[in-house]
Structure 1
């Protein structure tokens, strides 16, 4: 009878978590909600979830009721260094729920006197996976608990399998959305090129013909002004089409930036340090920031030379864009001077990065972006 009651309890727990997972569309809040529910219905008091990428870098995607020793400096003891469970995940030896007899992260935190552990010294670790795909680890613990039973580990494995399935679903959905967005951008780029861009080209030719056909100087000046405006609009249209369907991004970020700058009539000097192999979202953000910065250089700097530096270190990428143009008055505490610059900052900060603008009259303008990856 006890086993039957326990079986029904586990089914109820799995049902509640499955309902929660089916509603989620964003990974981080979803994992936090599942972890909260898991701790509430199972009796364990503490949990954290690592997501681990293909390069072996791990992030703390969710954490609940961590003791002070692991909370120090925004969970630095969990974010830095290695441990048996992360190492086992990377090596492919951690394939099922396991009891961790001694947690290296907790031991290190105690040695460094980083705070109380609230009686937690051991934890269970469960891989988040779906078939052959591995996403990360679920870790749970409770004060004084040295070992999780076979039934407890089996329940945690079932929960981890559900989490892995949800992560896969969300990532596939986002990939489909990205592909749909790319296709829509390509369609808009084609439409603009085939219609508006051709109309502007025709307008420029008509204005040129008007200049040659009339002898009246005022009329010539009017046609010249129309031709100049149409050519300027063509340049803007080419830039817009380039933004919608970047020619050259498939050849790499640096080549795309150089090609875009050259299309605007700018001379781009690039410096690259480190090997670039960036996630799509990070590369897209750097690309959009570079576009906006180059547009501003073209319109406002009064110079056609731009220096671009990209430095890649372990886990971080730094993009610096500098011109030696006229610059402007700007103090660090001021509101950013344009919607374009504000959108650059928003893009960067949405990925947990930092955005910095440095400028002064006659000193040029520098934009510095740092992003984790």
Structure 2
């Protein structure tokens, strides 16, 4: 028993060192559960993150049997189970043996692969103080339950992981806040310097055109004024992209405000209650910015239709114009259209961007983001 306690102390120390050094969430979780398996009698582990709605997401796994790994870990990814429900209801507060696991049973009965002798598992909440993040589950072949000492070890590891998750979340929030501050500083600098200089050039060119009696000189000044006004519009759009003013009043108001700044009128239709996480709002706003920029530059129209549908799990934003349209070869990357940028932003949030367009019949962009 003394040797086991000593081994556990060494294991907890090694896990703590890994958690303290790692700054990437995925690598931290994977590394921690692999160390746990290598230093204990547990042989299989997986971690769920669970949101406030009770929706779970598999974020890490180690040494899963084929039955649980099959089809992209389908049995762990989909459906409900007793431990996730108990966690969401607030009834799961410490490491516990689960008598019957619906996910394991489904994997065994559908015969999608060898279950490796896994029939039961233990589970423990991942939390830091009163803030909860999800569940750590462990299992071993031919084990229907784990001892009090093993559950105590599991709780200790879960406590360490929960604290590390909180640290990484806080660090990420601080980085995002610093990024917002830097964007705001750049936006202010551009507004106070370059923007004002361009405005001054516009006024000077107009004055030069009015003061000169030579048609050629007047035409040159008018060209300068026109080009400078275009640069001024581009600069204002860039400032908006750096600092999306209006999001504090809601996503649609921000999109409408940006469209108005570009000289576009919008017709808006909404279904569902719009109450989105800030990350999803900014992603949708940035994609809408790109789409509106494309409409102003390429569509040849000044009217845009916006449709937004919000469900309990995702939001659909449709941006439609009846302009020139375009033909897109999926094999080509076309930076001027900005489709790749919109796609990458959506994919970063687990979402998708689809579009349909036809020459002379306009373009429709469909953005779907889960939340």
Same fold per TM (> 0.5)?
yes
Residue 335 of structure 2, aligned match among 331, 338, 360: 338
Normalised to the residue count of structure 1, the TM-score between the two structures is 0.95
SS of 2:93's equivalent? coil
Higher mean C-alpha displacement, 23-32 vs 3-12: 23-32
- 5 Å-filtered alignment, 1:88-107, equals 88-107=86-105
SS of 1:42's equivalent? coil
Higher mean C-alpha displacement, 178-187 vs 317-326: 317-326
Residue 48 of structure 2 is matched in structure 1 by 50
Higher mean C-alpha displacement, 321-330 vs 150-159: 321-330
Q: How far does residue 278 in structure 1 lie from its aligned partner after superposition?
A: 2.5
Higher mean C-alpha displacement, 336-345 vs 234-243: 336-345
SS of 2:39's equivalent? helix
Flag structure 1 segments of 5+ consecutive residues without an equivalent: none
Residue 326 of structure 2 is matched in structure 1 by 328
Q: How far does residue 218 in structure 1 lie from its aligned partner after superposition?
A: 0.8
- 5 Å-filtered alignment, 1:154-233, equals 154-233=152-231
Higher mean C-alpha displacement, 293-302 vs 41-50: 41-50
SS of 1:247's equivalent? coil
Residue-by-residue CA offset, 1:62-107 (whole Å, 9 max, x unaligned): 1122233333332222222222211111111111000001112222
Normalised to the residue count of structure 2, the TM-score between the two structures is 0.95
Residue-by-residue CA offset, 1:118-168 (whole Å, 9 max, x unaligned): 221110001101111111100000111011111101111010000000000
Residue 259 of structure 2 is matched in structure 1 by 261
Higher mean C-alpha displacement, 66-75 vs 167-176: 66-75
Residue-by-residue CA offset, 1:27-46 (whole Å, 9 max, x unaligned): 12211121122112113221
Matched, 1:272 2:270: yes
Question: Following the alignment from structure 2 to structure 1, what is the Cα–Cα distance between the partners of residues 271 and 181?
Answer: 33
Question: Following the alignment from structure 1 to structure 2, what is the Cα–Cα distance between the partners of residues 208 and 66?
Answer: 72
Flag structure 2 segments of 5+ consecutive residues without an equivalent: none
Q: How far does residue 113 in structure 1 lie from its aligned partner after superposition?
A: 4.4
SS of 2:83's equivalent? helix
1:355–1:367 contact (8 Å) kept in structure 2: yes
Q: How far does residue 263 in structure 1 lie from its aligned partner after superposition?
A: 0.8
Question: Following the alignment from structure 2 to structure 1, what is the Cα–Cα distance between the partners of residues 311 and 161?
Answer: 31
Question: Following the alignment from structure 2 to structure 1, what is the Cα–Cα distance between the partners of residues 210 and 314?
Answer: 57
Q: How far does residue 296 in structure 1 lie from its aligned partner after superposition?
A: 0.6
Q: How far does residue 57 in structure 1 lie from its aligned partner after superposition?
A: 1.6
Question: Following the alignment from structure 1 to structure 2, what is the Cα–Cα distance between the partners of residues 184 and 137?
Answer: 36
1:330–1:360 contact (8 Å) kept in structure 2: no
Question: Following the alignment from structure 2 to structure 1, what is the Cα–Cα distance between the partners of residues 156 and 141?
Answer: 23
SS of 2:175's equivalent? helix
Residue 18 of structure 1, aligned match among 16, 24, 27: 16
Question: Following the alignment from structure 1 to structure 2, what is the Cα–Cα distance between the partners of residues 218 and 48?
Answer: 75
Q: How far does residue 112 in structure 1 lie from its aligned partner after superposition?
A: 4.2
Moved over 6 A (4+): none
Q: How far does residue 281 in structure 1 lie from its aligned partner after superposition?
A: 2.6
Q: How far does residue 357 in structure 1 lie from its aligned partner after superposition?
A: 3.0
Paired residues in the alignment total 370
SS of 2:266's equivalent? strand
Question: Following the alignment from structure 2 to structure 1, what is the Cα–Cα distance between the partners of residues 41 and 314?
Answer: 38
Q: How far does residue 195 in structure 1 lie from its aligned partner after superposition?
A: 1.2
SS of 2:213's equivalent? coil
SS of 1:362's equivalent? coil
Structure-2 change in CA distance of 1:13 and 1:284 (3 Å): same
Question: Following the alignment from structure 2 to structure 1, what is the Cα–Cα distance between the partners of residues 67 and 105?
Answer: 10
SS of 2:118's equivalent? coil
Higher mean C-alpha displacement, 302-311 vs 166-175: 302-311
- 5 Å-filtered alignment, 1:24-43, equals 24-43=22-41
Structure-2 change in CA distance of 1:370 and 1:42 (3 Å): same
Residue 80 of structure 1 is matched in structure 2 by 78
Question: Following the alignment from structure 2 to structure 1, what is the Cα–Cα distance between the partners of residues 298 and 231?
Answer: 17
